[in-house]
Chain A
Amino acid sequence: MDQQSRYADLAREDRVHTSLYTDAAIFDAEMDRIFGNTWVWVAHDSEIPTPNSFKMSHVGLQPVIVTRDKDSQLHVLLNRCRHRAASVCEQRRGRANLFVCRYHGWSYDMTGRLRAVPYAAGYGTDLEKADYPLVSLRVETYAGLVFATLREDIQPLAEYLGPARAWIDLFMKQGAGFGIKVAGEHRFRFPGNWKIQLENTTDAYHFPIVHRSFLTSLDEETEGQFDVLGQGGWIEDLGNGHSVMVMIPDLVDLEANLDAPIPERFQDLASELAKTHAPQEVRRIVRAVGGTGFNINLFPNVACSMAFFRVLRPISVNETEIAHMALGMQGGPEAANQARLRLHEHFQGPMGFGSPDDAEGWERVQRGAAAGTDLWIMLNRGMAQTSNTGDVSAETGMRAAYRMWRRMMAQ
């Protein structure tokens, strides 16, 4: 069997082989065939808000710098001096007009152009500066989400996202008309394969089991809202490995049902906002503060997850870094944005009431996958359903992701 057929055989419609979590050769092939061949999320607009701002990011294993140049154009540049490979940026985010390589002093502007080379006379006529810019990737954005790709010839981002775009538009309504900004991030690593996390974003089945201690920390009304399996939710395969999981149908459109009563837990916030905002505006903001009721899983590395962005970064076959980026309303009321931060801290991050238990579960998957190397990971829950819109605990979203995995790995 050739390599492509072998990959196709390892990711079947109803199951994937354990080696997808454990085989370093498969991981290397994924970095090449998947992360080297598609649109990879690198930033949100608000993280590089002004001309000459930048942030560090990754495309697969490759470190990149996302920049906004003096004319506000976005660039994604490999973080590697063209001379002898030293990284030119080691500051997570900030503002600059030049990246200066600290090794021999080569300097690049925010578009990646090589501006100056110290002691250039030593090269005689052997160095044409125009030939040695920082390597620049193709960049496209949708609704403030910035993606890059190493491929010049693949389809435009909008086409790649396809029907996911309508869901992204719904997700962004939690800006309550102010727009969305990244308001801080939690980052943590777990000793496990990146696809374990990819699956988890579309796994409603684990929620009442793993997150019982979170659920019991909520007031009764909110606990009812987080009964994610009991509200008629559903999962849709959105194509190209993307999917959406609707857990709380009432929170699909945050601009609908604005006349519904304000939940008890937001009463104090509503009173505070009422001092400076009209009643209808208060309802719109308060409804947006709690976030949406769905997760959009965008293959391969980002999710718009209820109220935050979840970004995964593969490190090795058995190590993955996760960022949970808190979101706020750009220029929105401070009280509402602080309420969003506190809600984010409650569940997310290394000491949230939810994330550490997820991380423990994922680590247990990786540890368990060392056993039974001929066994398979089951993905067949809810397969009998004929439409996309059955039980929210179906593994439809995972099957969608692995169908894309198979397509990319076996092509």
Chain B
Amino acid sequence: MTSLTLQAAVEFIWLEADLLDSHDYAAWLALWAPTGHYIIPTEREAEDYAAVLNVVYDDQAMREARVKRLQSGLAMSAAPSARTVRTVSRFRVIDDTAELLTIRCAQHIVEYKYDRTRMLAADVVFWLMPGPSGIALARKVVTLINADDALHGIGYLL
């Protein structure tokens, strides 16, 4: 078991959500373990994400490149990006080993741009790794309720 309490884990996940809604991407990048992967699959049942096509399959270098792109002002889908407000809840501890606390939760993002409000719902699984300087994000998998259906251009992070 890790030393993490559910309360500490949930506060970390809420912090992450708030950083993304407020586009504080530098702080968001700092939450990650260098070996962590940020994953948004295209199939609900995917398991070996590296072997299949994803919407996002980011290691550290790709996360940094993605943030750079979103902040560059050169990407018309992100300049400006849609406004987002997200809620994360329904937290449940799935696994707790010596190094990793695995939490599954529900995420609702409401997005607004061009007179249009849209919702993206997802199951999210976090791998949280406690360390000397706090919690590090070892993996985040965002499985959209409609992962295998047509989406739209998304100029922010889920």
Contacts and interface: CB of A to CB of B under 8 A. Distances in A.
- How many A residues touch the partner, as a band? 35 or more
B114 A356 contact: no
Interface centre among A92, A350, A363 (most CB of B within 10 A): A350
A6 interface: no
A345 B78 CA distance: 18
A187 B69 contact: no
A326 interface: yes
Given A344-B53, A351-B158, 20 more contacts: A184-B52, A185-B42, A187-B149, A188-B152, A189-B150, A189-B152, A212-B75, A213-B78, A216-B69, A217-B65, A217-B69, A326-B53, A341-B53, A341-B57, A349-B42, A351-B56, A353-B65, A356-B77, A357-B76, A363-B153
A190 B153 contact: yes
A26 interface: no
A186 B152 contact: no
Interface string B65-81: 11011001011111000
18 contacts: A184-B52, A185-B42, A186-B151, A338-B50, A341-B53, A345-B53, A345-B54, A345-B55, A345-B57, A350-B55, A350-B153, A353-B66, A353-B69, A353-B75, A355-B153, A357-B76, A359-B153, A363-B114
B154 interface: yes
Residues of A contacting B: mostly: helix
Given A326-B53, A361-B76, A213 B69 contact: yes
Contacts of B24: none
Given A213-B75, A356-B75, A360-B77, A186 B55 contact: yes
Closest 4 CB pairs of A and B: A184-B53, A359-B153, A356-B153, A356-B77
A188 B151 contact: yes
Contacts of B54: 341, 345
A330 to B, nearest CB: 15
Contacts of B62: 346
Contacts of B53: 183-186, 326, 341, 344-345
A187 B77 contact: no
**How big is the B interface, by class?**
20 to 34
B52 A187 contact: no
B37 to A, nearest CB: 12
Interface string A182-222: 01111111100000000000000000001011101100000
A329 to B, nearest CB: 14
A349 B66 CA distance: 14
Nearest to B81: A356
A357 B74 CA distance: 10
B150 to A, nearest CB: 4
A357 B158 CA distance: 17
A184 B69 contact: no
A183 B75 CA distance: 27
Interface string A329-350: 0000010001001101110011
Given A338-B50, A345-B55, A217 B68 contact: yes
A337 to B, nearest CB: 8
A370 to B, nearest CB: 12
Interface string B37-55: 0001011000000111111
Given A186-B42, A353-B66, A357-B76, A92 B155 contact: no
